[in-house]
Amino acid sequence: MAGPSRRRRRLHLSKIYSYTCGKSSFQEDHSNIGGPGFSRVVYCNEPGSPAAERRNYAGNYVRSTKYTLASFFPKSLFEQFRRVANFYFLVTGILSLTDLSPYGAVSALLPLALVISATMVKEGIEDWRRKQQDIEVNNRKVKVHDGNGIFRQEEWRNLRVGDIVRVEKDEFFPADLLLLSSSYEDSICYVETMNLDGETNLKVKQGLEATSLLLNQDSDFKDFSAVVRCEDPNVNLYVFVGTLALEEERFPLSIQQILLRDSKLRNTEYVYGAVVFTGHDTKVIQNSTDPPSKRSRIERKMDKIIYLMFGLVFLMSFVGSIIFGVETRDDKLKNGRTERWYLKPDEADIFFDPERAPVAAIFHFFTATMLYSYFIPISLYVSIEIVKVLQSIFINRDIHMYYEETDKPAQARTSNLNEELGMVDTILSDKTGTLTCNSMEFIKCSIAGTAYGRGITEVERAMAVRSGGSPLVNEDLDVVVDRSAPKVKGFNFEDERIMNGNWVRQPEAAVLQKFFRLLAVCHTAIPETDEESGNVSYEAESPDEAAFVIAAREFGFEFFNRTQNGISFREMDLVSGEKVERVYKLLNILEFNSTRKRMSVIVRDDDGKLLLLSKGADNVMFERLAKNGRQFEAKTQEHVNQYADAGLRTLILAYREVDENEYIEFNKNFNEAKASVSEDREALIDEITDRMERDLILLGATAVEDKLQNGVPECIDKLAQAGIKIWVLTGDKMETAINIGFASSLLRQEMKQIIINLETPHIKSLEKSGGKDEIELASRESVVMQLQEGKALLAASGASSEAFALIIDGKSLTYALEDEIKKTFLDLATGCASVICCRSSPKQKALVTRLVKSGTGKTTLAIGDGANDVGMLQEADIGVGISGVEGMQAVMSSDIAIAQFRYLERLLLVHGHWCYSRIASMVK
């Protein structure tokens, strides 16, 4: 199938994305290519060549099942004989084949065979369901080059290392690919990695210039040939080392050119890629672990009961055999017959021989053990398995846990853990996609010291309900607010003072105009115009970014076109009152990252003025304001605090005019820093941008609400009332996590927050000037001190009813999970009503889950929706996967799957209670 003949969009985003798109150089690990750990050779576009086939790389078929056809019987039998009773009956069954048996072998072995067969059939059916999901993933289609300049549809499982594939917009990457070119002229593409690391912000990837110039459409691949030499398969998601040999030239490769399996292509029409790693060699599968074998607490307790009963049987048999040996020894022959003639000792070789009484006693012990084996009820296991299967059917068929919007019912993927649902003590939850919909809405703003927006957040509603007021009345504005679904996705703002062009009549109209212009210009979104309706939609790196551009459009400042050098938008002219088009020349974009906590653009407006437009977190923006730019600072700070209390995500907007000479000097230094390949490249860029983003003039602040899934606050309230502790483990920054904590009722206004982080001035100064060992030592001491201070606060509160919430960041968590510190951390965390771990890596999520499970000895449940949650789900006693719209990695690794977080309430408090109660009663 031939590719599009039209020319690709001429938008050189590499000049815009100054941080993410740096060039690789032949340094460090590139010198190891060809050596141990760096021996992979990929023949691009020649997967069937003899040289490629000799490598014998893994295929692209992946599986998440516990068993294979070959391993099912040995592994499943091992699982069955982990049960003490099954092993005991196996031993007695083997003994029943001997002459010692007081009954026939069939009566001993048949029940055991039925029990084990029934359980193995159940295990096989459950694993077959996992197999079906694997089949669905492996049979997904992707376009693969057939060698003649034509791309044909092919199943994922048939991909080979070296294949050239074409991936379309909103499709998942079928393997780890080397990006060759894209629909953009300079091989830029957007990638969503939520299934890998939980981050919702899009990443920008860029192919090599050498391949992007050669490969523009399908037919260009007919004669393409190249060789990649790179690292062997490994678990590191953020590092790739390799070289590309093309037309007798060698080019360095980095992670910037690699598209990882299970990532999704966004905001890009198509990309071409060469398959580098397939199947179980891909980085996401390398990071996964085999499905663990989980057993319920009742099953483990039954094993202990069986041990007790076996002890009683052993004691009875032992005492009986001793008495039997003594009596046999004392048995006398009278007239050629023993006193116990009815035992027919004359016909027995040994069992009743008075001359061999000790041996007779030993044999009697085995006989008695078999005879008393019926004290241990083997039928109980069969009954329990039948009940568990029926309980799983009840869970699967519960209409109250069916999500109609996505046609997803609840699914008990394993029936072994049903009763554990009624014993859960701690829930460890992901945030994005689990508690939230990851759908941002522009709801409030503060401009020129005036607060706008009549919307009421979920946090404010919950507070109003608790205080006995109406949740729908904004007391400051004395109006009833419509809380129905927003008319425009991403925009839930109501205020007649500035809507519908009324902002022009406000006293600070000029400031409002600058504010709206900043929203329309300071971003990296790409507009897409529907040719039929003329409506403009936006593809943005994050939901926040999209919400800002949509808000600007709704306020009358419609961004509609981006070119290589300009941003075009329509606005209302203050003089004529009519819509006019404005084009701002785009000179530089200074990207947002977690260190800078801000994003800026440098533009030239249509009057020729140079402007720096900036938006960022309040703690970094307020300190960058000029003396004459703080006119609205106090009022804006007050509003930002109110927004934060309302669970909103806030950003400060500011600007300044830039002198021509200053810009020339900045641009020169900035381009030199971008072109640098030294280790301190990022530090150089940060230093240069930091000097430019100074002396700003404050305009106002935005407030965006990350919409929770329906029913989350109510569900968390009910679970807390049931005595279940809830921990949130998220990759998001602390401010965001705290906001969501308030919105979801995890945090309450009256709670005292114990915050543990490494943002102290001493640590920051060490990070700039100190050595690695010195930083680690100081960081560890700081974390220990903060943990001890937190424990002291808990102890001081004593018997008082005040609740505490522990909030800890990822850096601090690294030290808190060390062997000598983790006990202190766990003691503090278990003493708090709520715990939030921010900036947590997938590995940290799993380690925290393991710590809670082993440290408390109580039942833990983990819930998540992405591949970054898999370790946590597998580590917990029960793993619950959210079957959302993005991938199925969490579901495929879970024990139970549900479609919405709110169904957890019914799953635990209804089905969990029933299952536990019924199984416990049955065992009794």
Listed in sequence order, the residues at least 6 apart from 866 whose beta carbon sits closer than 8 Å to its beta carbon are 194, 195, 196, 198, 430, 432, 433, 886, 887, 889, 890
**Tokens 């503090």 -> residue:** 828
C-alpha span between 623 and 629 (Å, rounded): 11
C-alpha to C-alpha distance for 210 and 227, rounded to whole angstroms = 14
Annotated binding site for ATP: 430-432, 545, 592, 615, 649, 730-732, 839, 845, 868-869
- Confirm if 283 and 173 have CB atoms less than 8 A apart: no
681: exposed, middle or buried (Cβ count in 10 Å: 0-12, 13-18, 19+): middle
* Cβ contact 619:641 at 8 Å: no
Burial classification of residue 754, based on how many CB atoms lie within 10 Å of its CB (0-12 exposed, 13-18 middle, 19 or more buried) = buried
Q: How far apart are CA 368 and CA 323, in angstroms?
A: 12
Integer Cα distance of 266 and 169 in angstroms: 6
Long-range CB contacts (within 8 A, 24+) of 472-481: 479/454, 481/454, 481/455, 481/456
- From residue 194, alpha-carbon distances to 40, 721, 744, 900 in Å are 28, 32, 21, 18
Residues 770 and 772: their CA atoms lie apart, in Å, by 7
Binding residues: 430-432, 545, 592, 615, 649, 730-732, 839, 845, 865, 868-869
User: How far, in Å, CA of 425 to CA of 456, rounded?
Assistant: 33
Measure the CA–CA gap between 166 and 160, rounded to whole angstroms: 14
Q: In this structure, are residues 131 and 65 in contact, taking their beta carbons and an 8 Å threshold?
A: yes
Is the CA virtual torsion 318, 321, 325, 326 positive or negative? positive
- State the burial class of residue 824 (Cβ atoms within 10 Å of its Cβ: 0-12, 13-18, 19+): middle
Closest CA to 434 of 737, 805, 712: 712
Cβ(230)–Cβ(253) below 8 Å: yes
Between CA 634 and CA 642, with CA 637 as vertex, the angle to 5 degrees is 130
Say if residues 878 and 421 touch (Cβ distance below 8 Å): yes
Q: Binding-site residues for Mg(2+), please?
A: 430, 432, 865, 869
d(CA 632, CA 640) in angstroms, rounded, equals: 12
The answer to whether 149 and 221 are in contact (CB under 8 A) is yes
CA 147 – CA 175 distance, rounded (Å): 19
| Residues with catalytic roles | 430
Please list, in sequence order, all residues whose beta carbon lies within 8 angstroms of the beta carbon of residue 603, skipping any fewer than 6 positions away: 521, 567, 584, 585, 586, 587, 610, 611, 613
